[in-house]
Structure 1
Amino acid sequence: MRYRHAVSASATSQKAMVKVRQSWQTRWGFLRQLRFEPELEAAYLSHSQQGLRYQSLIACLLGAGIWFLFVCVDSYRLQLFQHPGEFPLALLQLIFVRVLVQACLLMCVLACVWPVFKYRQSVMVVGVIYLLALGSITAIHCYQRLQLQHESSVLILVVMAMFLPLGLRFTASLGLALSFVLTVFLFGLLVVAEEFEGPMLQLSLLLLMSTAVAAVGAYLLEYSNRQQFLLRRELEWQADHDPLTGLHNRRLFSHHLEACIGQARRDGRSLALVLMDVDHFKLYNDSYGHQAGDQALKALAELLKDLAARPLDLAARVGGEEMALIFFDVEAGQAQALCERLVRGVRALGIPHTSSPTASCMTVSAGCAMLGDERSEDALYQRADKLLYQVKHSGRNGSLLGLPPQATQAGPGLGVAA
């Protein structure tokens, strides 16, 4: 009964669960304003904000450069340096807006390279874009009062810029664009003179239509980015995990073992490597079929995951029926207790194995090697492998702990080798 419960709990492979989760997350994100569940959403935002500081700097430099170009064009068109002191009020307002916005943009550029602002990049992007937008609409109004030729449709470019991939969520970009359109509408309704009210309201309508077009493109882009994010996570998972059991695979196991050995030596911590092999697994497959063997491995994998629950611990499938456990910062007594739990836990699953000469249920053999003076992970692995085969040759259904040469200590019911 216990075995049936364990198998039913892990009947769907981890690979299939990832695909189901990906499909569900995509549909859920599509229907719920491009949002994943909180944990996955946080991972997506962290991923999408990589390099945001560089993007913010580019946005600020581009905005400052374009604005400075308009300043130069205005200086040439209005001949500011040829008629000093003869400026009407509208021209003074235009000069003030140009200089103020240019100074703010340069401050934003400095802020992007100043480390204290590294967590405020999205705020910086919003500020730069909205500053350009307000400056542009004010400058256009000044042009109208000065009866100078101007191109109001340049504001469409500002709306488009609000949907560029600069670290803002789609909803934030949409809200920013709509608030700008509302600002233009209110500006034309409440601020400008009556003769300019009509063109300004027409401009706000044009900007609203431009926002709709840009929003559709930005929505589809973010939807595609989220799909790629889920696909990348699935591929990363497949590269590091065994598709049958959901345990880590041999490749990741080797990398993690090497890293843990280095960490243990630097910090003066202990390390235990456990190699586990299912007793008479070939006979089990011959008697019950390979599908039943797969279900049994899944049940064992769930047990190993429970044992390797700490951050630096790891459970892996390193062969057909051979699995491994890495326990970081455990003493010999703790490693011994964990091995006992492993052997007892497998027996407690009650997986029937009538063809086994060892017991009527499935059992395992385990060899546990404590880290000594080994120079590489291969040496530690070979020592754990030898301990495993000593257990198999001495009757199976047990474990053997191998201590470093300087000490040996035995516990009840568990062999210890030096």
Structure 2
Amino acid sequence: MQSLEHQSAEDFRDTPYGRQLLQGFRFLFFVPELEREFRRYLNHQARLAQRLGACLLMLVVAGYLYVERHLFAQSDPAWLLELTLLRLLEMLPGLGILAMSLFHKRVRIIANRLFPVLLVLVGIIAARIDIQYEMLQPEMSFRYGAGLLIVCSFFFLGITFWRALISAALIVLIDVLMAAMILSPFEMKVHWISVSYYLLLLVIGATSRYVHEYSQREQFLVRKLLGWVAQHDALTGLANRRSFDTALNQTLLQARRDRQPLALLLLDLDNFKAYNDNLGHPAGDALIRDFGALLDGFSRRPMDLAARVGGEEFAVLLLNCDAASAQAIAGQILSTLAERAIPHPASAQGNCVTTTIGVAMWQPGQTAEQLYQAADAALYRAKQAGKNGYALSPALSAE
């Protein structure tokens, strides 16, 4: 599987996912845009684990408290009261995590940033209880709660490796500082045994989490890359026919809802077969890539789309673009291609590569298929007129 993934990345090095796979991520960081996307993915994947972790925290702490109230009911009322308050405080972050995981997406995004803080707070409370148990030395006690929190920090909240590591390290550090202030020198020597236990748990948890997150990130990139491949043309990086058909339907619905004009340009590279036959398929592929990049420059707005819909056939979808603007863009595409002056030894229109364009505007009541047919009819008219130009759909020409 590893070789297949690297082969996919090599084939698609022009995509952000392919580039990241090739660059690697030893330190568990992507480029900023991908890192944000991965964290959203991680937060979504971890929602069930967050709820489970919160429920387990409340259940375990409630169980501790129930037993402790029976054990210490007669021995030390003051410690029992303090212990009860600490246990209730320990449960509150779990309740908060559970509640926030059920809220709206925006609340969950804020909550995910707070999870490490809540985790450290619970760890501080657990460390305080552990230290008090060391001082009192009861016959039976529930110690090492901080150790459990260290382990949980790496696996339940869906936070990244580095946030989990920092949270766990802070729990250990604060535990040591609290113990140094509260315990006697002799008790502190004994407490170092607990600290060594915490550090061992931190190393084990961090190692496991690193391996797990590395695998998660790799799977994320491969899954995204496969999704990109399914929606894009591998040669040009533009949307493929399947993606274009979906976008055309969705954009038409938006144009209808917002009462905005919608233009569709269909383009065909003139005499492409002759270009391939004379210069070879590698040259033909290079021409397809260059022309795709040219069209991509004319579809920079969020709702614009450039697509490769056939061998040498392309489409440009322009929302909120009226007929005059659509014709101006068609003219600009023709002039830009002419300026590049790509040699074509077998062109009937001259010595350079040219294109023919059909322009259609969406009409009320028209379906996506009918709009495409109108643009195709305009493209046919432009070819009949001698290629290397553009023509309007019959409906526009009659106006």
TM-score (normalizing by structure 2): 0.89
1:254 matches 2:245: yes
The SS at the match of 2:44 is coil
For residue 92 of structure 1, report the CA deviation from its aligned partner. Answer: 3.6
Partner of 2:169: 178
Partner of 2:188: 197
Return the alpha-carbon distance in structure 2 between the equivalents of residues 14 and 336 of structure 1: 36
Partner of 2:29: 35
1:77 matches 2:71: yes
Q: Which amino acid aligns with 1:224?
A: S
State the identity %: 30
Partner of 2:80: 91
The SS at the match of 1:163 is helix
1:393 matches 2:393: no
The SS at the match of 1:50 is helix
Q: How do residues 198-277 of structure 1 correspond to structure 2 at under 5 angstroms?
A: 198-277=189-268
1:132 paired residue among 122, 140, 143: 122
Q: How do residues 103-122 of structure 1 correspond to structure 2 at under 5 angstroms?
A: 105-106=94-95, 109-110=98-99, 112-113=101-102, 117-122=107-112
Deviations 1:240-263 (A, max 9, x none): 111111111000100111111111
Partner of 1:68: 62
TM-aligned CA distance change 1:388 to 1:24, over 3 Å: same
2:12 paired residue among 15, 29, 50: 15
The SS at the match of 2:154 is coil
Q: Is the 8 A contact 1:188 1:201 kept in 2?
A: no
Structure 2 unmatched ranges of 5 or more: 1-9
For residue 330 of structure 1, report the CA deviation from its aligned partner. Answer: 0.9
Deviations 1:266-325 (A, max 9, x none): 111111111111111111111111111111111111110011111111111111111111
Q: Which amino acid aligns with 1:369?
A: A
Q: Which amino acid aligns with 1:62?
A: L
1:166 matches 2:134: no
Q: Which amino acid aligns with 2:274?
A: L
Return the alpha-carbon distance in structure 2 between the equivalents of residues 388 and 360 of structure 1: 22
Return the alpha-carbon distance in structure 1 between the equivalents of residues 33 and 114 of structure 2: 26
Return the alpha-carbon distance in structure 2 between the equivalents of residues 399 and 215 of structure 1: 62
For residue 125 of structure 1, report the CA deviation from its aligned partner. Answer: 2.4
TM-aligned CA distance change 1:71 to 1:200, over 3 Å: same
The SS at the match of 2:392 is strand
Q: How do residues 251-400 of structure 1 correspond to structure 2 at under 5 angstroms?
A: 251-400=242-391
TM-aligned CA distance change 1:221 to 1:368, over 3 Å: same
TM-aligned CA distance change 1:146 to 1:95, over 3 Å: farther
Q: Is the 8 A contact 2:53 2:156 kept in 1?
A: no
Return the alpha-carbon distance in structure 2 between the equivalents of residues 104 and 369 of structure 1: 59
Return the alpha-carbon distance in structure 2 between the equivalents of residues 35 and 103 of structure 1: 32
- Does 1 or 2 have the higher relative contact order (CA < 8 Å, sep 6+)? 1
State which structure, 1 or 2, has the greater radius of gyration over its C-alpha atoms: 1
The SS at the match of 1:49 is helix
For residue 167 of structure 1, report the CA deviation from its aligned partner. Answer: 3.2
Q: Is the 8 A contact 1:52 1:167 kept in 2?
A: yes
TM-aligned CA distance change 1:39 to 1:156, over 3 Å: same
Partner of 2:3: none
Q: Is the 8 A contact 2:29 2:35 kept in 1?
A: yes
Q: Is the 8 A contact 2:120 2:170 kept in 1?
A: no
TM-aligned CA distance change 1:111 to 1:246, over 3 Å: closer
Q: Is the 8 A contact 2:93 2:122 kept in 1?
A: no
Return the alpha-carbon distance in structure 1 between the equivalents of residues 362 and 103 of structure 2: 46
TM-aligned CA distance change 1:289 to 1:17, over 3 Å: same
TM-aligned CA distance change 1:75 to 1:387, over 3 Å: same
Q: Which amino acid aligns with 2:129?
A: A
Q: Is the 8 A contact 1:137 1:155 kept in 2?
A: yes
For residue 166 of structure 1, report the CA deviation from its aligned partner. Answer: 1.6
TM-aligned CA distance change 1:165 to 1:72, over 3 Å: closer
Q: Is the 8 A contact 2:355 2:387 kept in 1?
A: yes
For residue 104 of structure 1, report the CA deviation from its aligned partner. Answer: 5.7
Q: RMSD between aligned alpha carbons?
A: 2.5
Kindly tell me the number of residue pairs found equivalent between the two proteins.
Answer: 388
Q: Which amino acid aligns with 1:120?
A: I
The SS at the match of 2:265 is strand
TM-aligned CA distance change 1:272 to 1:254, over 3 Å: same
Q: Which amino acid aligns with 1:139?
A: I
Return the alpha-carbon distance in structure 2 between the equivalents of residues 260 and 352 of structure 1: 36
Deviations 1:190-221 (A, max 9, x none): 21245532221110111112111111111111
TM-aligned CA distance change 1:61 to 1:183, over 3 Å: same
Q: Which amino acid aligns with 1:50?
A: H
The SS at the match of 2:239 is coil
Q: Is the 8 A contact 2:146 2:171 kept in 1?
A: no
TM-aligned CA distance change 1:150 to 1:198, over 3 Å: farther
